[in-house]
Amino acid sequence: MDLDQTISEIHAKILSALHDASTLEAVEAARIEALGRKGKLSEISKTFGKLAPDERKRIGALLNSVKQDLEARIEARQAALESAALDARLDSEWVDLTAPAPGPRPGSLHPVTQVQREIEQLFVSMGFTVLDGPEVETEHYNFDALNIPADHPARDMQDTFWLKDGRLLRTHTSPVQVRGLEKLGPPLKMIAPGRAFRNEEVDPSHEHTFYQLEGMMVDREVSVAHLIYFMKTLLSAIFHRDVTVRLRPGYFPFVEPGFELDIQCLICSGKGCPVCKQSGWVELLPCGLVNPAVLRHSGVDPEQWNGFAFGLGLTRLAMMRYGVDDIRLFLSGDLRFLRQF
Ligand code: PHE
């Protein structure tokens, strides 16, 4: 077999091996087969000595050109496979920089806190002072100074959490009326948001712990008209709409006259549901003119001063505002509930 043919067969074989090579290893194997020290073309170079000078020159040139061709093609094939491998890696290892980061979840204010702050802002803008009072109270501030006689049902063991030392968990925020008057004296416009506690059976509309917001204005010649003005301002600011209200006479020893301001239930629109106990109305705003006895207990002369007071059920208000039909959710600590606010 003549050398030209052998060389061109080797050339063709390696070209087809390169064509089929799908890995860098296969390319390398083809290179070694043709160009390695013991490769096929190298073997042929070793037989040169036996050739006539002309033939040697011609075959030498042929071999060189085949070697150069193969080297160039091997390099090109290697480059192609390397870039395909890189593409495949980039394809499989990408990171979506536009994906939202899981990150820490920012907390949010409790719905009752949100409503409380809104009302505080409203009253502060009308010149009211925000006061605080103790949650553990004395009988004096929670009852006596508020003109609640010893035999009043509110003092019943059923309703009050008594401490062993005779003090109690305040059953309402009204003690802050007395504390506020004692400390600041008239004229006084104050609100006092805070927790209150009652020892009663828990159900969708009753909790042992709930939030109230007490309000009081004491000045010269304060009338029911002032009371109604502030209550209307309060309600329209809270609900951002007209709510249906009704005023009933209500008895609280610390106001005279006393009223119950009810709003039509916003959960069922007055049709009747567990929150309004099927009545269609929710007691929201007990209020009245401060009983002279309370002023006297607070060291204020009722001949000179009078005022109005109200006790807003903050927790109940948050229920109406957000359409929550079970008061127990507020203290549940359930994040599925709290994250909605
Ligand atoms: N303190 C009363 C209660 O908790 C509410 C109230 C406050 C009533 C102020 C009249 C005036 O039931």
15 is a domain residue:
yes
Indicate the residue among 36, 60, 92 that finishes a domain. 92
Average pLDDT over residues 6-26: 90
Which of 21-30, 90-99, 151-160, 268-277 has the least mean pLDDT?
A: 151-160
Q: CATH number for the domain including 131? A: 3.30.930.10
Say whether both 55 and 122 belong to one domain: no
Whether 135 and 171 share a structural domain: yes
- Identify the domain containing residue 314 by its residue range: 111-338
Q: Which amino acid, 36?
A: G
- For 216-229, letters b (16+ CB in 10 Å) and e give bbbeeebeeeebbe
- What is the enclosing helix (H) or strand (E) of 311? strand 306-313
Mean local confidence (pLDDT), 82-96: 89
Q: Do residues 86 and 78 lie in contact, with contact meaning Cβ atoms separated by under 8 Å? A: no
Regarding predicted confidence, which is higher, 98 or 295? 295
Same domain, 87 and 200: no
Same domain, 127 and 88: no
CB distance 174 to ligand 1 below 6 Å? yes
* Same-domain check for residues 82 and 139: no
Which of 252, 285, 310 maximizes ligand 1 atoms within 8 Å of its Cβ, making it the mutation to test the pocket?
252
How far apart CA 303 and CA 292 sit, in angstroms, is 9
% of the chain with per-residue pLDDT over 70: 99
Å from CA of 172 to ligand 1 middle: 7
User: So what's the pLDDT on residue 282?
Assistant: 83
Quote the CA–CA distance of 234 and 138 in Å, as a whole number.
30
- d(CA 337, ligand 1 centre) in Å: 29
Stretch 308-330: mean pLDDT, rounded? Answer: 92
> CA-to-CA distance for 23 and 183, rounded, in angstroms?
90
- Whether 157 has a pLDDT exceeding 70, the answer reads no
Ligand 1 centre distance from Cα of residue 248 (Å):
14
pLDDT band at 276 (very low <50, low <70, confident <90, very high): confident
- CA–centroid distance, residue 270 to ligand 1 (Å): 24
Mean pLDDT of the chain, nearest integer: 91
- Residue 137, pLDDT score: 97
Same domain, yes or no: 81 and 138:
no
Half-sphere exposure of 305 (CA within 13 A, CB side): 21
Assigned domain for 184 exists? yes
**Pair 87, 148 in one domain:** no
pLDDT at 1 over 60: no
CA-proximal residue: ligand 1, atom 12 (nearest): 172
* Probe residue for ligand 1, chosen from 174, 254, 295, 310 as the CB with the greatest number of ligand atoms within 8 Å: 174
Q: At 277, phi and psi to the nearest 5?
A: 50, 45
Band of the pLDDT at 2, cuts 50, 70, 90?
Answer: confident
Q: How far is CA 339 from the centre of its chain?
A: 4
User: Given its phi and psi angles, is residue 13 left (phi above 0), alpha (psi -120 to 50 degrees) or beta?
Assistant: alpha
Query: Which of 232, 216, 236, 73 minimizes the C-alpha distance to 146?
Result: 216
Last residue of a domain, one of 34, 58, 92: 92
Q: Please tell me whether residues 130 and 185 are part of one structural domain.
A: yes
144 and 246, same domain (yes or no): yes
Q: How far is the CA of 255 from the centre of ligand 1 (A)?
A: 9
Residue 257 lies in a domain: yes
Domain count along the chain: 2
- Residue 331 lies inside a defined structural domain of this protein: yes
Question: What stretch of H or E contains 35?
Answer: helix 24-35
In a domain, 232, yes or no: yes
Tell me: do 285 and 141 sit in the same domain.
yes
Q: Per residue in 175-198, pLDDT tens? A: 999 999 999 999 999 999 999 999
Tokens of 120: 């505080």
Residues 201 and 173 in one domain: yes
240 inside domain:
yes
- Range 279-306 average pLDDT: 94
Give the closest residue (by CA) to ligand 1 atom 6: 311
CA of 331 to the centre of ligand 1 (A): 22
Please identify, among 92, 121, 136, the residue that sits at the C-terminal boundary of a domain: 92
Residue 310 CB less than 6 A away from ligand 1: yes
- 122 and 87 in a common domain: no
In this structure, is residue 207 part of a structural domain? yes
Say which residue, 183 or 3, is predicted with more confidence. Answer: 183
Report the separation in Å between the CA atom of 287 and the middle of ligand 1, taken as the mean of its atom positions. Answer: 6
Q: Provide the strand spans (E) within 265-305.
A: 281-290
Tell me the mean pLDDT in the region 290-297: 97
User: Cα 121 to the chain's mean position, in Å?
Assistant: 23
Tokens (6 digits) for 287? 């209020």
DSSP letters for 110-153: -HHHHHHHHHHHHHHHTTPEE----SEE-HHHHTGGGT--TT-G
What torsion, rounded to 10 degrees, do the Cα atoms 119, 123, 129, 131 define? -20
Q: How far is the CA of 132 from the centre of ligand 1 (A)?
A: 16
Atom 4, ligand 1: residue with shortest CA distance = 172
Q: Is residue 103 part of a domain?
A: no
Confidence grade of residue 173 (pLDDT, cut at 50, 70, 90): very high
Ligand 1 pocket residue status of 286, Cβ below 6 Å: yes
